[in-house]
Structure 1
């Protein structure tokens, strides 16, 4: 779901006159032209059915509507219908703090993934410069593979760290685990020379030793 970043600048659409909604007149925009929606309702239903059946892509419909020099009736009807949907979502956004938190959490996950991708692909500064679709797909697949490998590695060791805390008598709120992200890469060298023959090879089922700061503190103490 989208995050309404500019909610203060948005106006709510209304079926009745804005003056009908006492106390929130300042939030109301112009009335929604329901007559325009009713007049082109059959065409709207056909468009929705075509998209759901996969007969036409939404992007193709948008290009077709944008090709008109002036806004046609169907385009206007879809815009008015969209105002109804945006108003309903804006009301849910204002009334439900959980919805706002969920949208922000989803945004954070997406941004973390994009940031990791840009860090991995630093040589080209996050851009594919290949001209052929095939080479672009190769690079995109390789990038996704590296992101998945890092995410999997981090997830495995985050789980081992949580189990270590539980087994050593540590206490923490399990609900906090849902807010951890496996997209970190501070501990991973993304640039430099890779000397595979010197790598510390692990046998299947083996893990690296956890970096426990409390254990180091105990040794020093």
Structure 2
């Protein structure tokens, strides 16, 4: 296994060649079996740490929740055809996913800008905006976004040079 790792790192073998060498006729070779067993050791160590270390488990849960929140936002953006891709893989799927990613990132960016502005305003007004509270905020919220309906793309010169719209405090 050390030779395999060294060969990969030095570039003497690429991942595709290695994958072929780890199995024959759909069955793992002896080297493939060894790597599988080695992986089981790390999986077991992870599982033991997960059940015995509450902080570690909480960190994993927080990351899972962030991933779930992003997927929920994407499902709301990609609401047509129940959020399923109907293009053939090469022809249209990549384009659909790229556009979904661009729109998702634009929403996250917009929300981040305005969350920062809200926090600044709340601090000016004397609210407690400790780092602990701020760390619980997420730019993945979307309840304020109208995904279906009419949109206005009128040019507003007052928004030039990085100026933002006034905060909606209603």
| Structure 2 residue aligned with 1:203 | 159
Q: How does 1:175-214 map to 2 (within 5 A)?
A: 175-197=132-154, 202-204=158-160, 205-212=162-169
Deviation for aligned residue 1:72: 3.8
Confirm or deny that 1:129 pairs with 2:81.
no
Contact residue 51 and residue 58 of structure 1 kept, 8 A:
no
Distance 1:187 1:173 in 2: 24
Residues 1:59 and 1:114: Cα distance change in structure 2 (over 3 Å)? farther
Deviation for aligned residue 1:66: 7.0
RMSD across aligned C-alpha pairs, in angstroms? 2.8
Distance 2:57 2:24 in 1: 32
Distance 1:183 1:62 in 2: 41
Deviation for aligned residue 1:171: 1.5
TM-score (norm 1): 0.64
SS in 2 for 1:154: helix
User: 1:3-34 CA distances to partner (integer Å, 9 max, x unpaired)?
Assistant: xxxxxxxxxxxxxxxxxxxxxxxxxxxxxxxx
Contact residue 22 and residue 29 of structure 2 kept, 8 A:
no
Residues 1:203 and 1:72: Cα distance change in structure 2 (over 3 Å)? closer
Contact residue 116 and residue 184 of structure 1 kept, 8 A:
yes
Distance 1:66 1:202 in 2: 66
Distance 1:186 1:63 in 2: 50
SS in 1 for 2:159: coil
Contact residue 161 and residue 210 of structure 1 kept, 8 A:
yes
Contact residue 118 and residue 126 of structure 1 kept, 8 A:
yes
Which stretches in structure 1 are left out of the alignment for 5+ residues?
1-43, 214-221
Deviation for aligned residue 1:145: 1.0
Distance 2:76 2:41 in 1: 40
